[in-house]
A and B are shown apart, each in its own frame.
Chain A
Amino acid sequence: MANLRLRNNLRLMRFLSNEMTQAELGERLGVTRQTIAAIEAGKYSPTLETAFRLADIFQKPLEEIFQWDKESA
């Protein structure tokens, strides 16, 4: 089931945001803490809306948070 075609730097982004917790990020996004954990682990690809909201929260371009791995696609 799990594939890693979409990689992300969510863990790094949280670290750079004063070590924001998964729970805090989940609360701001309106998703559960476990969903944030699943995104970070590459077990779930968020919707486009959630991805843009993540970019907005971290004030970074979308492609800096998510990268599409062409090689494994």
Chain B
Amino acid sequence: MEENLSMPAKEQFAWVWLSTMLVTYAAYFTSVFTIGETTALTQIGLFAATTVVQVLVIGTVSAVIAVRHKGGPQSDERDQLIDQRATRAAYQLLICGMIVVGCLMPFNNSGWRIFHAAVFSIAVSEIVRHGLMVSMYRRGANG
């Protein structure tokens, strides 16, 4: 196996997304549970800080990856297949989360609890999506 050393651009993107989401959302939810009840401004600040860090890290690293892979195909049929499969699985999770957040939680929860549950649902679906992508790149995308 001569040239199996480097990863395709899309796999590198998936790793960046996965690691950034894991670290930032872990920090975010740890802070949320540690702080407990607090002002709206603190909650918004925490969420904004998390989002800004994600945008900066993912944006910067993605730009570096794009420059490194300039000239070659950015994505091909295998990348598209992996993306489709991972997105389909993550979508099911997201829909389940949104049903809980939008249809069940309003009856016995309020405000920030619902907000955090929605963010949690999005975070889990994104982590699952990119985790599945990484797994399919490593283990194969057949069957």
Q: Which residues of chain B are near A22, meaning CB under 8 Å?
A: 2-3
Query: Interface residue count for B (Cβ, 8 Å)?
Result: 23
A52 CA / B53 CA spacing, docked (Å) = 46
**Beta-carbon contact of A31 and B73 below 8 Å:** yes
Q: Which residues of chain A are near B81, meaning CB under 8 Å?
A: 44
Q: How large is the interface on A (under 10, 10 to 19, 20 to 34, 35 or more residues)?
A: 20 to 34
Chain B residues touching A, majority SS: loop
Q: Which residues of chain B are near A27, meaning CB under 8 Å?
A: 72
Please tell me which one of the listed residues B9, B76, B77, B143 contacts residue A1 in the complex, with CB atoms under 8 A apart. B143
**Beta-carbon contact of A38 and B78 below 8 Å:** yes
Count chain B CB atoms within 10 A of each CB in A6, A37, A40 and give the residue with the most.
A37
User: Footprint of B on A, CB under 8 Å?
Assistant: 1-3, 5-6, 21-23, 26-27, 30-35, 37-38, 40-47, 50
